[in-house]
Amino acid sequence: MTALGKLVRTTAFRLTLAYALLFAVISAGVLGYVAWNGRQLVEQGMRETVDAEVNGLIDQFRAGGIRRLVATVEQRTRRPGSSLYLVTTFVGEALAGNVARLPTSVLTSAGENPDTPYERLDDPDDVTHHAYVRVFLLPGGFRLVVGRDLGELNGLGQAVKRAFLLALAMLTALGLIGGFFVARRVLARIDSMTESANAIMAGALTTRLPLAGSNDELDRLAASLNAMLDRIGDLLAGLKEVSDNIAHDLKTPLTRLRSGAEEALRLAKNPQDYRQALERTIEESDKLISVFNALLMIARAEGGRAAENMVQFDAAEIARSVVELYEPLAEEAGVSLSVEAPGSLQAHGNRELAGQALANLVDNALKYASREEPELPGAMAKVQVSARSNGDGTTEVSVADHGPGIPEADRERVLERFVRLEGSRTRPGFGLGLSLANAVMRLHGGSLKLEDNHPGLRATLCFPPPFAGAAR
């Protein structure tokens, strides 16, 4: 597309053109009205003048007969800018006046003729003029014709027409020029935005759209787009971190898998050894698969696709059954795991996911509570699970331990995938438990709260009131 074509296609240019056209139509209307009114006025005046002349001349005729009339007409025709006069006999022979020729049809009947062609006596070229004439029959067959030339009137019409055409031309020119400049300005800014967008698409991800600082609609649009780009940038950075972490954290078990297989090839002496190596390989790959399953589950919970399976479930029952599930494990680890929950606690959500979120929290608590030195020698590490309903309809299930806890600065970060705090790297796990619990709670329209348990960690699953949850 040519530059001009592009310009003409802009909204700004088209709007300007449309306005120019609108103004032209309006001014044509106004001028036309003024011209019509003026013409009416002039015609009215003309008619009155002619009437007055006719009356004066008839008075002269009555007072002094045809001679006096002829004399008066001759006298009047000599005045500059005089009206038109003609006095004829009953056969049409001219006696006096400044009209050379009139159509005979006009002469034969008395009355008004608004637009009559005629020739003037004092005009050498026999040019046909137009006039408004009145014909009057006098006693004795004489005819009196009085009229006014229409040249003046038509001149006025011409002037109005010229004024209108000039105005139209100026409006169009100004409209075109104005449209051109406005459109070029808009186009220049749009072009610079397009250029920035292209640069971003080409890979310069930190580029932002230019702002003119005028805070007009284009600026506001650019600012919104920039905010959007920032948000996308943040998400991308998060995604990149996650995939970096995935790559890093999965490399370790894969390496272990590979070296195990290699070792077996090198050292195995009998089928029994091979068998053991293969079994270890399967165990390791099962762990990897479960990591991928957890990742998928987090992704799907974050995608909010389990929402359709929300039902009423008993949060107290979940607390009890998860504790019951982990109780032998806790006992083996030397941790006292207890539960405090009312008989029944209705919440809205997905029992499976809520159960898994709670299981992850309990699993974590057992892992960390058990291996710290108890505060009092001989005392057992404790993990307390409690479920309760708040006055505002929310339901909370919390897991409290007296382990090392999570420093306040890290509480946001540990919810991300694969984030494990320093010192926990030596413990089993992949750093997905809290991420999953968090994703599950977000899916429920609730939240996962991490608080200080003085000492230790209190992790709480907060379910929203049933209807707030159902509305999601």
Residue numbers of the site for another protein (CB under 8 A)?
A: 279, 282-283, 286, 289-290, 293-294, 296-297, 300, 305-306, 308-309, 321, 324-326, 328-329, 332, 350, 352-353, 355-356, 359-360, 363, 428-429, 433
Smallest gap from Cβ 328 to another protein, in A, equals 4
Q: Which is nearer to another protein, 22 or 296 (CB)?
A: 296
Residue with tokens 């083996």: 332
Q: Which is nearer to another protein, 87 or 318 (CB)?
A: 318
Q: How far apart are CA 301 and CA 438, in angstroms?
A: 9
Smallest gap from Cβ 286 to another protein, in A, equals 7
Helix crossing, 11-77 with 151-201: angle to 10°? 170
Smallest gap from Cβ 3 to another protein, in A, equals 53
**CA distances in angstroms from 112 to 36, 54, 77, 145, listed in the order given:** 21, 12, 21, 10
Question: Which residues partner with 131 through β-bridges?
Answer: 116, 149
Smallest gap from Cβ 1 to another protein, in A, equals 46
Residue type, 409: A
- Contact assessment for residue 384 and residue 330, using Cβ atoms and an 8 Å cutoff: no
Q: Which is nearer to another protein, 108 or 252 (CB)?
A: 252
Environment class of 228 (CB within 10 Å of its CB; exposed 0-12, middle 13-18, buried 19+): exposed
Smallest gap from Cβ 237 to another protein, in A, equals 27
Q: Which is nearer to another protein, 177 or 325 (CB)?
A: 325
Q: Which is nearer to another protein, 77 or 350 (CB)?
A: 350
Residue with tokens 């108890």: 374
Q: Which is nearer to another protein, 196 or 438 (CB)?
A: 438
Smallest gap from Cβ 367 to another protein, in A, equals 8
Residue with tokens 């897991």: 399
Helix, strand, or coil (residue 137): strand
Smallest gap from Cβ 292 to another protein, in A, equals 9
- Contact assessment for residue 307 and residue 349, using Cβ atoms and an 8 Å cutoff: no
Smallest gap from Cβ 288 to another protein, in A, equals 10
Residue with tokens 């708040």: 390
Environment class of 445 (CB within 10 Å of its CB; exposed 0-12, middle 13-18, buried 19+): buried
Q: How many CA atoms lie within 13 A of 365 on its CB side?
A: 33
**CA distances in angstroms from 394 to 206, 318, 448, listed in the order given:** 42, 16, 13
Smallest gap from Cβ 403 to another protein, in A, equals 16
Q: How far apart are CA 108 and CA 46, in angstroms?
A: 23
Smallest gap from Cβ 424 to another protein, in A, equals 15
Query: Within the chain, how many helices (H) and strands (E) appear?
Result: 10, 13
Q: Which is nearer to another protein, 153 or 294 (CB)?
A: 294
Q: Which is nearer to another protein, 101 or 300 (CB)?
A: 300
Cβ neighbours around 270 below 10 Å, total:
7
Q: Which is nearer to another protein, 15 or 289 (CB)?
A: 289
Residue with tokens 């609730």: 446
Q: How far apart are CA 434 and CA 445, in angstroms?
A: 16
- Contact assessment for residue 315 and residue 354, using Cβ atoms and an 8 Å cutoff: yes
Q: Which is nearer to another protein, 240 or 305 (CB)?
A: 305
